[in-house]
Amino acid sequence: MEPRISIITLGVADLPRSIRFYRDGLGFKTKAKDTDGIAHFTTTGVVLGLYPLDKLAEDIGPQVKPRPGFSGLTLAHNVRRKEEVAQVLALAEQAGGRIVKPAQDVFWGGHSGYFADPDGHYWEVAWVPQGTFDEHGNVVL
């Protein structure tokens, strides 16, 4: 198997609301319309998918039951400059997200904060001083 993550799909309660959050609020690029039933967003390195939570659970199988709360999964958005952490968190909040942890220096030497999207999916926004970006905008740690 080649080590690759192609698509990350988030189960969402209200697909049109989530499309608006990512497309209109955060500026993610998509061809999806609010009524398409699924949405895919082009990002650097991986595609972000949004699909109704009940349909995603049904697709996996009858043994899967959607559950609220923290699933142990976070998504990350790395930035090029320390001050961008607070800027991205503010953008997420303006779009309808909730700041969970404000931008701050962290124990591993970087600067980060967290927001939750309208469905409670947690995103870390991080500046890593020893990190760089390749020519395609992918983070290199």
Q: What is the pLDDT of residue 61?
A: 95
CATH 3.10.180.10 domain position(s) in the chain: 1-65, 68-141
Identify the segments of the chain with pLDDT beneath 70: none
Query: What topology does CATH give the domain 1-65?
Result: 2,3-Dihydroxybiphenyl 1,2-Dioxygenase; domain 1 (3.10.180)
Query: pLDDT per residue over 51-73, tens digit each?
Result: 999 999 999 998 988 777 788 89
Q: What DSSP letter does each residue of 45-74 carry, written as one string?
A: SSEEEEEEHHHHHHHH-TT-----S--S-E
- Domain 68-141: give its CATH superfamily: 2,3-Dihydroxybiphenyl 1,2-Dioxygenase, domain 1 (3.10.180.10)
pTM above 0.95? no
Q: What is the pLDDT of residue 33?
A: 87
Q: What is the pLDDT of residue 68?
A: 74
Q: What is the pLDDT of residue 84?
A: 98
Give me the helices (H) in the chain, please. Answer: 15-20, 53-60, 84-94
Q: What is the pLDDT of residue 65?
A: 84
Q: What is the pLDDT of residue 106?
A: 97
Q: What is the pLDDT of residue 31?
A: 94
133: left (phi over 0), alpha (psi -120 to 50) or beta: beta
Q: What is the pLDDT of residue 48?
A: 97
